[in-house]
Amino acid sequence: MVTETHPRRRLLTVAEYHRMAEAGIFGPDERVELLEGEIVEVAAMGSRHLSCIGRLTTLFKPVTGEQAVLLVRCPVVATDNSEPEPDLMLLRLRPDYYAAAKPAGKDVLLVIEISDTSLAHDGNTKLPIYAAAQIPEAWLVALPRERIEVHSRPIDGEYREIRLYARGDTLTPLAFPDLHLRVDDVLGPPAAG
């Protein structure tokens, strides 16, 4: 009887990933992130994606600086083997603005992924990482579907509550109950076509 063996994958830890970056293994313009122990290239950003980041940055200005730190496309140490770079994060306010150490899951109040061409990847890979890190709320701005998925109540590596918001709706982040955002203001003008 022949027993089939499968090669074992060697997954990286965040510490190993950092050592690789410090050693200059990644090029200066190379955009990568560590997801579940694997180095993954970050998808190129289209103009609609970029525009949405700009709108969200403006919409979150009322809470930035006094209630939270807003970071755009910066890493969060989510687990021992995952350091994703979400499109936006709202973090607990810290006097050093995270100069002493990168933010970890416990520091994140809200994480936002904007998906244009990476919807399945963001939903199936990144959201479970955020849930495993106990990030209380994650938004998936699904540009092709013209909606925002709000994921909350992380338990055992998955979000137990999912709410969908479409154009015409208003949503309020859990950490900022006085901030009411219109979905239309987040999505911007409807896609041409």
Domain-located, residue 71 = yes
Closest CA to 53 of 180, 143, 183, 186: 186
Domain-located, residue 141 = yes
pLDDT, tens digit, for every residue of 149-188? Answer: 999 999 999 999 999 999 999 999 999 999 999 999 999 9
Could you tell me how many residues make up the chain? 193
Domain-located, residue 12 = no
In one-letter notation, the amino acid at residue 96 is D
Average pLDDT, the chain: 93
Domain-located, residue 149 = yes
Domain-located, residue 143 = yes
- The structure tokens 């690789």 sit at 20
Range of the domain at 154: 45-187
* pLDDT value, residue 139: 98
Domain-located, residue 40 = no
Cβ-contact 32, 41 below 8 angstroms: yes
Closest CA to 171 of 67, 59, 71, 66: 59
Phi, psi of 102 (to 5 degrees): -60, 155
* pLDDT value, residue 36: 95
| Neighbouring residues of 106: CB distance < 8 A, sequence distance ≥ 6 | 133, 134
Domain-located, residue 17 = no
Phi, psi of 185 (to 5 degrees): -70, -30
Q: How many structural domains does the chain have?
A: 1
Domain-located, residue 4 = no
Closest CA to 34 of 79, 70, 67, 2: 79
Q: Is 64 exposed, middle or buried (0-12, 13-18, 19+ CB in 10 A)?
A: middle
Instruction: Give the helix/strand (H/E) hosting 140.
Output: strand 137-142
> How confident is the model over 110-137, as a mean pLDDT?
92
The CATH number for 73's domain is 3.90.1570.10
